[in-house]
Amino acid sequence: MCSILGIFDLRPGADVSVLRPLALSLSALQRHRGPDWSGVHADANALLVHERLAIVDPLGGAQPLRSADGQLVLAVNGEIYNHRELEDATGDGYDFQSGSDCEVINALYAATMDGVEGRRRAACEDIGAWLSRLNGIFAFALWDRDRGRAIIARDPIGVCPLYWGHDGDGRLWVASEMKALARSCADVEVFPPGHWYDTATGELRRYYERPWRERVATLGRRVEPAALREAFEAAVHRQMMADVPYGVLLSGGLDSSLVAACAARFARRRIEDDDASEAWWPRLHSFAIGLEGSPDLAAAEIAAKALGTVHHGFTYTVEEGIDALPEVIRHIESFDVTTVRASTPMYLLARRIKAMGVKMVLSGEGSDEVFGGYLYFHRAPDADAFHEETVRKLDALHQYDCLRANKSMMAWGVEARVPFLDLEFLELAMGMDAEAKMVAPRPDGRPPIEKAVLREAFEGVLPASILWRQKEQFSDGVGYGWIDALKARGAEVVGDAAFADAAKRFPHVPPVTREAYWYRSLFEAAFPGEACARTVPGGPSIACSSPAAIAWDAAFAAAADPSGRAVAGVHAAAR
């Protein structure tokens, strides 16, 4: 991954020589995302700046990517996993200038625009169509110089972050992180996933709509365990596309262990040439972090030994985590309690991984949203409610777990890929009737457990203690003392008078605990202003409860703390 910054809608007579150094200085605020190289395109009507983290084609592929005639200029943050298939489909109609997986975006746009002048509506429909064909994680800005038109788009789930806003002169700005826009744009907002924007029309359009969003489209659709397993293995295989050292995050939970198991199967061959040659880095390395004696560190050791990975388990102290909090919040651009708790150990782990020369890791985010893995899904009253909640959580994922994984890792220039959110796999897994995902008693008489359908698909691949391990939220699994220490420190640093005045100081999503007030104060120091605060969602934490979950069990309404341990009677009963 990388970072992008774009400025469009430049007024006639605008002095680009003045805007260029401003754009460079603001792009530098997100250079941690792309420490390998910086690229700039500047003309009378547009500025594009790109900070590169070289994962595919590290010797070539520098951005912005330009078409042979210089008409198209593209800055992308992300990866396109099916780029070779799409390149083959374009035939000889586009002259590729690099080995970058992302240049196919230029080719697809060029094919769309050929011969469509005067047919704007048809062209727009075609852009949405080819965007839907991209299987990847991306946020991009494409500048069509001759037409004076920019196309801005974000991947369907929002794995890659993207923000936009306008400066005082009405110019449109886009950037990978909010920190690059906060000084210039009073109206900074999150660019919505699964959408694209056309500066020529001023229209924001949704391009990603799937039938599985409504349960009626999934009724009676069963997926055999072997098919589910094969589809996930294929997703992991696709996402191992890399020309640099990579590894896997391995907490010892079900999701990261399945990712690691699949990656270990394919690690010895090079994905980019269809497994024809030996991988440049054939040993798979796995990484875990926790407080001394944490549940995750112990489980990760078991999983790593079974899979044969070169494992690295790191410990951190409570004080080290607390010391890092201001930087963590500045990087993740959120004050959501669960997100901050979980981002801190991930941020510390990313620094360790970077020090070892690894630039990409595979991670397990998305599984709990797709398969209903959070503990409150035990209380789902029926399959309709279960399915509706999985869709709601996927829609919100870009503001929670995707944000956490991406920004915590990219703070140190490490790219996190998420195979459970691979679009081909998502089509199969979300197309499955939710009846099969419901938490139900197990045939062996053991207590009901979440994600049984996924566990059964990988029977025999992992040790039983890992395959059937109870759900632990990451902020719990790194050590229960971590959350307890954060609560205690919040109580120390936030006095009675300040907390009593919380709603007045923070009218948008007033903090309801002293810990939350503490995080909000750190956020405000880094991102003053109401607009920045409004990019962080309000309401109950996504990992704890939701309007639906509260309706399932009244106990959720009183659970201000979003730890998995707050789900009364579920966590302990299934351990």
H or E stretch covering 520: helix 514-526
Can you tell me the distance from the alpha carbon of 507 to that of 504, in angstroms, rounded to the nearest whole number? 6
User: What proportions of the chain, in percent to the nearest 5, are helix, strand and coil?
Assistant: 45, 15, 40
H/E stretch holding 409? helix 401-410
The answer to whether the CB of 151 falls within 8 A of the CB of 127 is yes
Look up 2 and say whether it is catalytic.
yes
CB atoms within 10 A of CB 357: 10
Residue with tokens 């309801």: 512
Q: Measure the CA–CA gap between 217 and 224, rounded to whole angstroms.
A: 18
2, 185, 262, 402: the catalytic one is 2
Amino acid (one-letter) located at 66: R
User: For residue 61, how many C-alpha atoms fall within 13 Å in the half-sphere facing its CB?
Assistant: 23
For residue 407, the tally of other CB atoms under 10 A from its CB is 27
β-strand 189-190 against 163-166: which pairing, if any?
antiparallel
Helices vs. strands in the chain: H and E counts, helices first = 23, 17
State the Cα–Cα distance between residues 143 and 72, nearest whole angstrom: 6
d(CA 572, CA 473): 14
CA distance 285 to 264: 9
199: left (phi over 0), alpha (psi -120 to 50) or beta: alpha
Q: What angle is formed at CA 202 by the lines to CA 100 and CA 112, rounded to 5 degrees?
A: 45
Integer Cα distance of 224 and 242 in angstroms: 31
Instruction: Provide the pairing of β-strand 285-290 with 246-249.
Output: parallel
Structure tokens at 58: 């590290």
Annotated catalytic sites, by residue? Answer: 2
